[in-house]
Structures are given as structure tokens and as C-alpha cells.
Structure 1
Amino acid sequence: MRLLINPFRTEAWYGEKLLPVLDLIQIADRKGIYGVDLPEHVVMGTRDLDDYPYAPSAKARDAMFTARTDFPEPIVLLSVIGAMTKNLRLSTGVLLAALRPAALLAKQLATLDVLTNGRVEMSIGTGWQKIEYDAEGIPWEGRFGRLFETAEACRVLWTQAPASFQGKHVAFDDIYCMPFPVQPGGPPLMFGLAPSDLNIERMAKWADGWTPLGMPPAAVGQALDRIKRRMEELGRDPTKFRLRLNPDPVIRDGRLDVDATLAGIPDLAKIGCTDVSVFISAFCSGPDDFEPFLDKYLAYGE
């Protein structure tokens, strides 16, 4: 099992200062944590907050974030983390790829992959806030098609020179986007999407993995089976397909039961989970808890 940490909101332990969080991430790298998993919002707005689909109530959502919560730009932050670590894989959960020009995203990720000797892997998605698209002048409609065309175009740019691509949302002809990534074919691309029939078809065709959020494990397992069956029909190897999940929280007396929550990790493996990511701020009350938690987390992963 690959174990990742998500440091979202741990800067609150340091008076909203981000730099001390990097010290924690270096500790995780030394201890053998597989990767770091960063969230993203380009902008936040109050009008869309009530549409957040992954919290049972507005109170629960506000305990996670508000419109004023810091969301550092993940590719920039991953570049710094990559420079300060040796083995840690650099990932997102999720990067809003549909908000970025495909050629620019391909260049950014290829450059980061070169600088870190092939440690980049991305989970990408569309996000749930229309206001982010409005802020960049990008249509909300067609965002899923734009996301998958962006992913396809990146892979073309990572493997062909000159490269050409013709889609509805992304198009270029006879261009060079160098350097190529260190990883053959480019960094793995996973998708953070709901398992609609169309998305299952798209992931079976193009994805290296899936990062669902807010779904019951049984439903995840059923959808994963569908993705893998379709991969076989398309001639792709389903054994290489990855599934990244957060362990289901066990709440007792109004607080997270860390041991009971981590004890659910082996059950995730039974439904095909290959990667687990945890929000550090949910499992630790402060930096003094961090190393003891990592030791416990690594033991459950084994």
C-alpha cells in the first residue's frame, strides 16, 4: 500500500505560516512516506460554498475551510517540496487541470519531473466551483471534455516532437514542448471524478488511476470493477490501474478515533485500493503529534 500525506491546514499550527510545514514534509520523506498529496483551489468565493458536495452540512464544511482559507498553488509548492526531499512522490488531490492551458501544464509538469528525477504524479479534476472558471474567463459548460482533452494533449506533448493535437477545446499543430519528462510517457495521471457512465469510459481509456471522494467503499469497488472490465475490453492492463482513497473516519465522542480509522486501511485494500492519503490536520492536534502518527500510519500500511 502506498501511503501519502495531505498537509492541508497544517500551517494553522504555525500561525498560518507555510514554511514550517516543509520541515514536517522532510520528516515524512526520511521516514519512508510514499508521497505528498496537495489540494487546489485557484480562487474561492462565497456564492459557491453551499454547493460543496463532500461535507454533510455547512458547519462541517466550515470546519474544513472557508472562502478565506489559504490554498497555495500546488505546482509551485511541489517544486519547493521536490527540492527539499529525496524520495517523496509529488502529487495532487486534485489539480484543476481544466483551468490551465494544456501546453503550459505539460511544460510545468515535465520540468518538475526532470528536476525531481521522475517523482511527479497528478490527480486531476474539474472542481465544483463555477466561480473559478468565471474568474479565468473559461466556460463552466464543457469542463469535463476540456479536462480529458488537456490530459490527452499533455501526453502527446510529453512523447512527440513535433506534436500535433486537434480537439474541441485544445488544438495545436507541429510544436515542440521540451524537455520531455523523465518518466516514459510522462507522469501518471489519475482522475478525481464521479463514476458516471461517461467518466468510467474515459478513465478506462486514458487514466492511470482514480481518486474518488465521498463515496462508500462498496460503491467504489463496484465502479472500479467496471473500469477494469472496460480496460480489458480496450486492451489495457487493469492490474496497473491505481485507486487512491482516504480512510473512512471513525468518530467517537465527537473526535476522530485515530487507531480505529487507520485500522480500516487493510479493508480498503480488499476493494482494490492501492494508495491511501490522509489529512494530517485531522489526525494530529499539532506538530508534536506528527512523528508518532507517522510511525503508526506506516505500521498500518505494512
Structure 2
Amino acid sequence: MRIGLSLPQYGRFADPALSARVATAAEEIGYAGLWVGDRLLVATAPQSRYPGGDGTVPPPECEAFLDPLIVLTVAAGATRRARLGTSTLNALWYPPVLLARTLTSLDLVSAGRLDVGLGPGWSKDEYQAVGVAWQGLGDRLEESLDVLERVWAADDVIRHTGARWTVPPAVIRSRPVQRPRPPLLLGGFDQATLARVGRRADGWLAVGLPVPALAQMWRAVRQHATDAGRDPDALRLVLRVNPAITAEPAPEDLVPRRGTVHQIADYLATAVDALGAEPLIDLHVAARDADEYLALAGALHDLLRER
């Protein structure tokens, strides 16, 4: 079982020194992956609902945000074995040829430990702030993936001509350690996203929904992979939970959004058994300080390893 942990990055945990400390400790605990998210701002009058809970952004995430790829660079220097992933990077905020350069550099810095998790994001306000249109996200993501793959190809000369980006015939010698490219995972739940995962990704980035609902979507991903002539068993399912940890058991319909350590571990273990999921534990909401962050990380890791 590959278990991942979200690195301190938001709110009270937006401290690079803490990110490095947790990265080192998590690797010692036995975490196989260290992950970051991608947030820019919290609008005071949001145009979009937060995709979880009652639609409002959890308070610990309202204060500050560290750049995800800088946090992973810090983690790369603080660790030796754990893989480093984005869950998820808002791909469309970044010109894809520049994104390819940054991701290539991070894969080189980490000696080939990068997992590239991409998604369109959910906040219209963040898109407005970076000057990117909200419409046509799916088509733009497809082309962005095309550009990444062209830049990472083994061709001596790369080129791309598309609806939104043009890369003239050019030489880019820097390439990732991992060939033909770092593992690519995509986040999202609509049918177009599930089809895209099956057609061209290495895995799906899911979040803590009821296991039967996840199973239905995972079957769709696998079927799309089969229809595209790909091996569905080669795909990964990374399942992220952002729980509020309670002392007393929470009602089952609230798990994994809230619950005891044992309830969260039981939910993840069920997803592992049913779907082959890779748990990804985010403790920004659960922990009050760095010591509790690491204590909960250790307890959840131990409970999952016992199953």
C-alpha cells in the first residue's frame, strides 16, 4: 500500500521550514508520497462554491498559500525516497511550455520522483485574477497536455500548432529523468474528465466520496482505458481525504469529511480493498499545530499499515 501525506502549505501551516520538517519526518514514518495543492486566493464574495462540505472554504485555508512547486522543491531537498506529487496543480493558469520547463526542473532536482497531478481547478475568482478565461476548460486542458507531451518527447526538434498555443520548431534539450515523462494523473469527476483519464493519463486523483460512488466512476475510467486500447490495471487511483478529526465517532454519512482517526483509517482501508486506491491524507483541517500534524500522520499511517 502506497500512502501519501499532504505537506504543510496553507493557513497556519504556510511555513517552508515546517514543510521541510514534515517532509523529512513523513519519509521516516514510511509515507511513500508527499503532495501539495494549488490555491491562490479566497474571494470575499466568491463566484464559485468550494467543492466540499457546505460549500464554504475551511477557515485554516483562508489565511495564506505557499506556491506548490516551491514547496515540492523544498521537500525534494529534505527527502531521498518519497515521491513528490501535485493534487492538483491548476494546469490552465500556466502557459504549458513554461509549465513543462518547471516540471522538468523539479523532476531533475528530485532525481526522478515527481508525480504530475493536474486539474482545471474550481474557482472562477482565481481564474479571473490570473487573467484566464473560465470557458472551454476541457479543450484547453487537452491542448496543454499535448504541449507537455511534445516538449517531453524524444524528438530532436519539437513543435506544436494548436487553437491556443503555438511552439515553433525548436530544440529543448532538458528532459525529465522519468521517461517518456513523469507519471501524469488528472483530477475531476465529470464524464469528460473520467474519459480523459482513461484515454491519456496514468491515474485519477479522487477525493473522499462514498466508496460505491467512487467505484462507479473508477469503473468508467477503466472502461475508457480499455476502449482506448490501454491496460486499465496500469492506472493508479489516488484518493485524497481532508478530514476534521473528532474525539467521538461521527455519523457514518459524514465520514470521511469528519470522524475519529479510526473512522478515517477504516474508510481508507475500505477504499484500498475495494478499489486498490492509494490513500492521500491531508491534515490541514485536522491539526492545530505541527506536533499534532505529525502525531496524526503517524497514527493514521500505523492504522493503515496494520490492515
Matched, 1:36 2:34: yes
Q: Which runs of 5+ in 2 are unaligned?
A: 251-257
Rounded to whole Å, the distance in 2 between the matches of 1:168 and 1:56 is 38
Distance 2:215 2:286 in 1: 25
Q: Which moved more, 1:45-54 or 1:34-43?
A: 45-54
The one-letter amino acid paired with 2:298 is D
Structure-2 residue corresponding to 1:63: 59
**CA 220–167 in structure 1, closer or farther in 2 if over 3 Å, else same:** farther
Using the TM superposition, give the Cα deviation of residue 162 of structure 1 relative to its aligned residue in structure 2, in angstroms. 1.2
Normalization by structure 2: what TM-score?
A: 0.87
Q: Is 1:277 equivalent to 2:280 in the alignment?
A: yes
Partner of 1:51: 49
Deviation at 1:17, TM superposition (A): 3.8
Contact kept in structure 2, 1:95 and 1:123, CA below 8 Å: yes
Instruction: Provide the residue aligned with 1:117 in structure 2.
Output: 111
SS of residue in 2 equivalent to 1:169? coil
Match of 2:165 among 170, 175, 180: 170
Where does the alignment leave 5 or more consecutive residues of structure 1 unmatched? none
Root mean square deviation of aligned Cα: 2.4
Q: Relative CO higher for 1 or 2, CA cutoff 8 Å, sep ≥ 6?
A: 1
1:46 CA displacement: 2.1
For 1:37 and 1:171, the matched residues in 2 are separated by 31
C-alpha distance in 1 between matches for 2:122 and 2:67: 17
Against the structure 1 CA distance between its residues 41 and 247, is the aligned structure 2 distance closer, same or farther, given a 3 Å change threshold?
Answer: closer
Aligned to 1:245: 239
The SS at the match of 2:97 is: helix
Which residue of the partner structure matches residue 204 of structure 1? 198
For 1:154 and 1:176, the matched residues in 2 are separated by 14
Distance 1:138 1:276, change over 3 A: same
Three-state SS of the structure 2 residue aligned to 1:243 is strand
Cα distance, 1:253–1:199 mapped onto 2, change above 3 Å:
closer
Displacement of 1:202: 1.6
Q: Identity over the aligned pairs, expressed in percent?
A: 23
Task: Give the alignment's TM-score, normalised by structure 1.
Answer: 0.88
Question: Which of residues 121, 124, 131 in structure 2 aligns to 1:130?
Answer: 124
Give me the whole-angstrom Cα distance separating, in 1, the residues matched to 2:188 and 2:78.
31
Residues 90-140 of structure 1 show CA distances to partners (whole Å, capped at 9, x for unaligned) of 111110011101100001111111121101012111111112222222211
Structure-2 change in CA distance of 1:161 and 1:46 (3 Å): farther
For 1:1-302, what aligned pairs fall within 5 Å after superposition? 1-8=1-8, 12=12, 17-48=15-46, 51-58=49-56, 61-66=57-62, 69-159=63-153, 160-196=155-191, 198-213=192-207, 215-247=209-241, 249=243, 252=248, 256-302=259-305
Question: 1:211: how far off?
Answer: 1.1
Q: In 2, distance between residues paired with 1:289 and 1:17?
A: 15
